[in-house]
Chains A and B, each alone.
Chain A
Amino acid sequence: MTTPTAVRPFILGQIKLIAAQQKKRLVPLKDDLPLLESGLDSLCIAIIVASLDDELGLDPFAAGDVDMPVTVGDFIHLYENGAAAS
């Protein structure tokens, strides 16, 4: 089980890992940065979501009624809330 505080560094690590794998150049990550302006495309984001499901066992989208995350902060909060609820 993942604690909410462990989620943030893990996600930031995954973002950097997948970006490197997909040869995308990341801009410095900040909470108010729109996710799609970080250098990630939607395929990268889909891969990150899949790897977070595999590695953390968290899939906050499974509920179906979550808003699409706009910023890096939205994305992280989605998983922090998921970890807190699990």
Chain B
Amino acid sequence: MALPRPSRRSLAELALTSGTEGRSLSDEAHRVLLADLVSGTNIGAPLESLHGRSVLLASEAQLPTVLAAIALDGIARRLLICLPDMAPEDLPAIIADAEIDTIVCDGTGPRFAGDTGVARIGCASTPRPASLAGLDRSAETEWILLTSGTTGRPKMVSHTLASLTGPLDDGLQVMRGAVWSTFYDVRRYGGLQILLRALLGGGSMVLSGAREPVGDFLVRGGRCGVTHISGTPSHWRRALMSPNANRMTPCYVRLSGEVADQAILDHLKLAYPQSDVAHAFASTEAGVAFDVRDGLAGFPASYVGQAGAKAEMRVIDGTLHIRSARTASRYLGEAAWLGDDEGFIDTGDMVERHGDRYYFMGRREGVINVGGQKIHPEEVEAVINRHPGVRMSRVWARKSPITGALVAAEVVPRDPAAKANFAALRDEILAACRETLAPHKVPVSLRAVDALAVAPSGKLLRRGD
């Protein structure tokens, strides 16, 4: 006899069955009561008409996308969560690769104003009453998150609600009525984790505003009674530079997305003495691997090799590998599964053991993390190398006490004599970079060198330091 299959629970069901009293989702301009989502939706079409669709969620603000994702999980075949800073020229390829047949958008994303040939449905920042009784939300919706790729075009990382919510089961004790917030955009993996904690854990969520000054966000967070808040170490350094840092009194402060050094952990403990300060290691591909709650940088060596852990870790050739049910399954458009034969995903993060702790030593491929935004050196090198006066270049991470890292570059000029009078060439290269690249990708320092080391494989040596 076949056992009855437990029905899949949708995000809406998971979020709303834990009670809706006093719970809300808010941004700078709107406050949406979760109670209004029981019989309401922000989408301008009957939800049943979106069964089996592959939907791109493309609003500029976070709230319309969050409400749409809650409405459509379990209904759509696929939800592609668009980032507001996505380049418009990448859109056609993303639509094609993800087989997008519907765009749900509130019309604020001017970059999506062009004709994509795909059906569009409007959405709003607040729900309107709708009859949702009997709606079938049993589909296993695929969630596609975007992450930075080597060529500058984002990669699409395939998740499910199950893989996204896996890390929530980490034993963190959270009181009822917790008010969660994050400096992150919740459309990025680190932010989405916090949103899901709020939704599934019976709490409320305060969303950050893209153009909201950090001081205003801290005041708003205080006013909304934020109890749990996350951000990158760079977000937190910026918060501590605000005179309004003490306007919020959270009981839980979380860091992720960049390596947390001892200085920022100590500063946060001083600024929020009533708060637990934890730092987590996560990536869009590998999911959350672990968090560290002892207030110290790095992580205990005992975490590695623990059999039966929810996220198992190995260190292979100095690089952290992770296996868990929370890892993404693949990049969309690429057949290959992300993991190795045993299911471990290579995070590309190098670690070194000192005594009984491991410490992060940067990225193997030289990926540069500027305030939580990852930059592939190849993307910047390609722009520099386009200059006719450049033979080759190497882009690397320069440490910064403010943003964790900054982009720095070395250039081999085509004409060796140009090295003596490099200022003019440097200004031209930087001007070209500023024209093509986002501000955080433009090198802050650029120097001329005679040669760059190349490995026997013909690849540029990335670890020169």
Q: A residues within 8 Å of B by Cβ? A: 21-22, 34-37, 42-43, 45-47, 49-51, 54, 59, 61-62, 64-65, 67-71
Q: Nearest Cβ in chain A — how far from B53, in angstroms? A: 38
Interface positions of B from 248 to 272, Cβ below 8 Å from A: 261-263, 266-267
What is the distance, in angstroms, from A23's C-beta to the closest C-beta of chain B?
A: 9
- Distance to closest chain A CB from B232 (angstroms): 11
Which residues on the A side are within 8 Å of B436 (C-beta)? none
- Contact bitstring B204-239, A, C-beta under 8 A = 1, else 0: 000000000111000000000000000000100110
Contact of A36 among B238, B263, B401 (CB under 8 A): B238
Candidate in B238, B371, B398 with the most chain A CB atoms within 10 angstroms: B238
11 other A-B residue contacts (CB within 8 Å) besides A42-B371, A46-B401? A22-B439, A43-B370, A46-B406, A47-B444, A49-B402, A50-B445, A61-B401, A61-B402, A62-B401, A65-B263, A70-B243
Contact A64 B263, beta carbon cutoff 8 Å: yes
Interface of A is mostly: helix
Q: List 20 A-B contacts (CB under 8 A).
A: A21-B434, A34-B243, A36-B215, A37-B215, A42-B238, A42-B241, A42-B402, A42-B403, A43-B439, A45-B402, A46-B370, A46-B444, A54-B445, A61-B402, A64-B261, A65-B263, A65-B266, A67-B267, A68-B241, A70-B243
A80 to B401, CA, bound (A): 18
Whether B242 contacts A46 by the Cβ 8 Å rule is: no
Whether a CB of chain A sits under 8 angstroms from the CB of B440 is yes
Interface range on chain B (Cβ under 8 Å from partner): 20 to 34
**A35 in contact with B439 given A43-B403, A46-B402 (CB within 8 Å):** no
Contacts of B263 in A (CB 8 A): 64-65
* Residue in B214, B262, B398, B402 whose Cβ sees the most chain A Cβ within 10 Å: B402
Interface assignment of B18: CB less than 8 Å from any CB of chain A: no
Q: Are B440 and A43 in contact (CB under 8 A)?
A: yes
Partner of A34, one of B215, B402, B445: B215
